[in-house]
Amino acid sequence: MWGAFWVGWSVLQILVVTGTMPPIPLGTANHAFAFWFLAIGLVTLSATLVSTAQSILLFVALGCLTAGSGLTAAGFFAGNLGVDQAGGWLFVASALASWLVATAMMAEHAFGRTIIPLGRWSLAANIPGRAASLPVQRPTGMPGVRVGQ
């Protein structure tokens, strides 16, 4: 959903740059954008709720993204620049939290142990230096493949 958003945003910017469409003035009501952010916020809310099964840090990143979408939608509905700016700051917080989550996940998989705790439900998985999870391995090789083929 966010990928489609960025494609649409790029098309919009191209239309503005080429003069096909006028830019949207800051602080004005725009219900089309409000619904755009409302829809993407609802999809992100689903991911936020489901992320509680994974880790606290992922929940924080997606929660900031959901709240930023909600505030931006409210700002576009009301034509309130201050609310839009608050949503923008939540997008920045979400980007920082997402960067931390991605770095923690990459480090965990690269080193095979926890480097940056993600706030998983298993307390042992949050201790730096310990394995966060056991890799999926089969003692006899891959299913359906004979050893030595």
Digit-coded pLDDT (tens) for 96-118: 999 999 999 999 888 888 888 88
The model's confidence at residue 10, banded by pLDDT at 50, 70 and 90, is very high
Angle 73-75-79 (CA atoms, 0-180°, nearest 5)? 125
- Classify residue 38 by burial, with Cβ atoms within 10 Å: 0-12, 13-18, 19+: middle
Q: How far apart are CA 66 and CA 44, in angstroms?
A: 6
Taking the CA of residue 54 as centre, how many other CA atoms within 13 Å lie in the half-sphere pointing to its CB? Answer: 14
Q: How far apart are CA 29 and CA 37, in angstroms?
A: 13
- pTM comes to 0.79
Q: Mean per-residue pLDDT for 11-34?
A: 92
Q: Which has more confidence, 34 or 134?
A: 34
User: Is the pLDDT assigned to residue 44 strictly greater than 60?
Assistant: yes
